[in-house]
C-alpha cells in the first residue's frame, strides 16, 4: 500500500514538473495552446520530419534494388525483411540518436543517412547494400518529398477541423433560416434578411475554399543536385529515370515536379498558403460579425458556471472566443503571407534561405487551426435573441422604402427613387407613418394592398429558402 501511494505521489510530481516545463517554453503553441494543436504539432515535429526522411531513404534502397535495372543488386527476401524491420523500428530513441549525430555533422539529412548506416551494420546480410543509402540523391530530394508528405498529412488534419466549422455553420443557417434580422450596409439599416441566410454566406464561402484546398497538392522533386538527374543517368543510362522517380514519388501519394533546379520552387506551397489566408480572412469576417451581433444583443452568450468575464465588472460575459480566433488567425495570415512571398524565390539554382522558413510551416498552420477551434467554441456559446432581433426590425419601418419604390416603378413612376428618398430620408418611419405614406401614394388599390401587407418582419425575399438550400 505504501508503495502505491508513493508511486502515485511520484507521478503527480512528474506531471507538475512537466506542466511547469511546458510553461517555460517560448511559444504559446507549445504551452498555453499545446493540447488544442496537438495533432498538428505531432505532424510538423522535427521528430516526425526525420521519421519521414528515414522512411524515404529506406524505401529508396528497396526501390532501386527491385525496380531499377541490373546495375543494382537485387534484395534477397531476408535482406528486404531486415530493411523493413529497420524502417518500422523508428522511435523516440532513433530520433534522439539522429540529433546526436547532427550535433557532429551540422547537417540534418546527412545525420539521417549516417543513422541508417549504423542500423544497416547490425545486419550482416545488408552490408553489400550499404552503398545504396542516399544513392544519387541530394538532400533537397529527400527534404522536398518529406515536406510534401508533411503538408499532405497536415492538410488532412486541417481540413477535418475546417469541416467541423463548415458543418456547424450549415446546421445553424438551416435552424435559424426564418429568424428575421435587420441587415446593415455601411452600418445603416438596410433591407431585412434572416440570421440563417447571413450564416449561410459564411458557410458557402468556406465550403468553396475547402474544396479548393482539398485539391491542392504540394509537389516534390527528385532530380539531383541541379534537377537534371545527372547521377541517376550516369548510374544507368538505359533506365527511364523520369518515369522511375515518378513512380517512386507516387508511392507516397505525391506528384513529381520534373522540371526544377536543385529545389522544387515551392509554388504549390505558396498556393496552399494563399488559400489558408483566404480561409482565415473569411473566419475573421465571421468573428467580427458575431462580435457585433453580441454587442448589439442579437446574440446572447450562454453562461458557463465558474467562467469569469470582466475581472472588475461581474455582469459581463465577454465574446473572448471570437476575439481569440481573430487574433490567432491574424498571426497565421502574417506567416502564410510571408511563406507565399518568400518560398518561391531562390537565387540561381538554389540558396538555403528557404530551409529555415520551411521549418516554420507548422506554426502558420497551427495558428489557423487554433483560430478555427476558437471560432467553433464561440459558435457553441451563442444563441439568438429573437426578441431583440424582432424589436430592432420593428423600429425600422423605413427599410420598406425599397419595396415602395419597386411597386411605384411597376406602375410607371420612372422617378420613384427620388420621390421616396424625399419622403423617407432622415425621417423616423414607424408603422403608422408607413401606412400613412402608402395611403397617400398615387398608385392602384392592388399595389396599395400589396404594400399594406408588408412589414419589416415579412419583407425577406427568399432569404429563408437560401439559408436552407444546398446550393
Residue 276 grid coordinates? 489558408
Residue with cell 508513493: 6
List alpha helices for 88-138, DSSP H. 92-105, 108-120
Residue with cell 450564416: 199
Q: For residue 24, give the DSSP letter.
A: T
Q: DSSP per residue over 217-286, as a string?
A: ---B--S-TTSS-HHHHHH-TTS-HHHHHHHHHHTTT--B--S-SSS---HHHHHHHHHHHHHHHHHHHH
Asked about 7 being catalytic, the answer comes back as no
The alpha carbon of residue 27 and the mean position of all alpha carbons in its chain are separated, in whole angstroms, by: 19
Query: Among 250, 310, 334, 444, which one carries the catalytic annotation?
Result: 310
Residue 83 grid coordinates? 530493411
Query: Among 77, 103, 186, 251, which one carries the catalytic annotation?
Result: 186
Could you give the CA distance from residue 296 to residue 292 in angstroms, rounded to a whole number? 6
CB 228 within 8 A of CB 187: no
Residue 246 grid coordinates? 515518378
Main-chain dihedrals φ then ψ at residue 146, nearest 5 degrees: -60, -45
Whose CA is closest to 282, among 169, 177, 384?
169
CA angle 7, 11, 17 (to 5 degrees): 145
Q: At what angle do helices 445-453 and 401-410 cross, to 10 degrees?
A: 160
Identify the three-state secondary structure at position 38. helix
CB 36 within 8 A of CB 373: yes
Identify the three-state secondary structure at position 441. coil
Could you give the CA distance from residue 15 to residue 377 in angstroms, rounded to a whole number? 27
Asked about 171 being catalytic, the answer comes back as no
Whose CA is closest to 401, among 346, 441, 357?
441
CB 419 within 8 A of CB 382: no
Give me the active site residues, please. 186, 310
Amino acid at each position: 500500500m505504501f508503495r502505491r501511494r508513493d508511486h502515485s505521489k511520484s507521478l503527480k510530481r512528474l506531471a507538475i514538473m512537466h506542466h511547469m516545463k511546458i510553461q517555460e517554453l517560448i511559444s504559446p503553441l507549445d504551452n498555453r495552446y499545446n493540447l488544442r494543436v496537438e495533432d498538428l504539432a505531432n505532424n510538423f515535429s522535427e521528430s516526425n520530419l526525420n521519421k519521414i526522411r528515414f522512411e524515404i531513404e529506406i524505401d529508396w534502397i528497396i526501390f532501386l534494388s527491385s525496380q531499377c535495372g541490373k546495375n543494382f543488386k537485387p534484395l534477397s527476401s531476408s535482406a528486404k525483411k531486415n530493411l523493413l524491420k529497420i524502417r518500422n523500428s523508428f522511435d523516440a530513441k532513433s530520433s534522439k540518436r539522429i540529433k546526436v549525430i547532427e550535433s557532429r555533422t551540422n547537417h540534418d539529412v546527412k545525420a539521417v543517412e549516417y543513422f541508417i548506416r549504423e542500423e544497416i551494420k547490425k545486419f550482416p546480410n545488408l552490408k553489400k547494400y550499404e552503398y545504396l543509402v542516399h544513392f544519387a540523391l541530394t538532400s533537397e530530394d529527400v527534404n522536398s518529398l518529406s515536406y510534401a508528405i508533411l503538408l499532405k498529412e497536415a492538410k488532412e488534419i486541417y481540413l477535418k477541423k475546417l469541416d467541423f466549422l463548415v458543418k456547424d455553420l450549415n446546421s445553424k443557417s438551416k435552424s435559424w433560416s426564418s429568424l428575421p434580422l435587420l441587415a446593415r450596409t455601411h452600418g445603416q439599416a438596410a433591407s431585412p434578411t434572416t440570421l440563417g441566410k447571413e450564416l449561410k454566406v459564411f458557410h458557402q464561402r468556406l465550403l468553396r475554399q475547402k474544396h479548393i484546398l482539398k485539391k491542392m497538392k504540394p509537389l516534390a522533386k527528385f532530380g539531383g543536385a541541379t534537377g537534371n538527374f545527372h547521377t541517376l543517368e550516369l548510374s544507368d543510362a538505359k533506365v527511364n529515370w523520369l518515369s522511375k522517380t515518378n513512380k517512386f514519388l507516387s508511392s507516397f501519394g505525391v506528384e513529381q515536379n520534373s522540371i526544377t533546379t536543385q529545389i522544387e520552387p515551392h509554388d504549390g506551397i505558396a498556393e496552399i498558403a494563399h488559400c489558408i489566408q483566404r480561409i482565415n480572412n473569411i473566419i475573421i469576417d465571421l468573428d467580427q460579425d458575431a462580435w457585433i451581433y453580441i454587442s448589439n444583443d442579437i446574440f446572447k452568450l450562454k453562461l458557463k458556471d465558474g467562467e469569469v468575464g470582466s475581472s472588475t465588472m461581474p455582469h459581463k460575459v465577454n465574446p473572448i472566443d471570437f476575439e481569440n480566433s481573430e487574433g490567432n488567425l491574424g498571426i497565421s495570415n502574417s506567416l502564410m503571407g510571408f511563406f507565399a512571398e518568400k518560398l518561391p524565390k531562390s537565387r540561381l539554382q538554389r540558396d538555403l534561405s528557404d530551409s529555415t522558413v520551411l521549418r516554420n510551416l507548422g506554426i502558420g498552420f497551427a495558428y489557423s487551426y487554433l483560430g478555427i477551434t476558437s471560432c467553433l467554441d464561440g459558435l457553441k456559446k451563442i444563441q439568438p435573441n429573437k426578441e431583440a432581433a424582432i424589436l430592432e426590425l420593428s423600429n425600422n419601418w423605413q427599410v420598406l422604402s425599397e419595396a415602395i419604390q419597386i411597386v411605384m416603378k411597376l406602375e410607371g413612376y420612372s422617378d420613384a427613387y427620388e420621390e421616396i428618398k424625399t419622403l423617407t430620408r432622415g425621417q423616423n418611419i414607424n408603422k403608422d407613418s408607413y401606412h400613412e405614406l402608402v395611403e397617400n401614394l398615387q398608385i392602384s388599390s392592388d399595389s396599395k394592398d400589396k404594400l399594406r401587407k408588408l412589414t419589416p418582419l415579412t419583407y425577406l425575399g427568399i432569404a429563408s429558402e437560401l439559408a436552407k438550400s444546398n446550393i
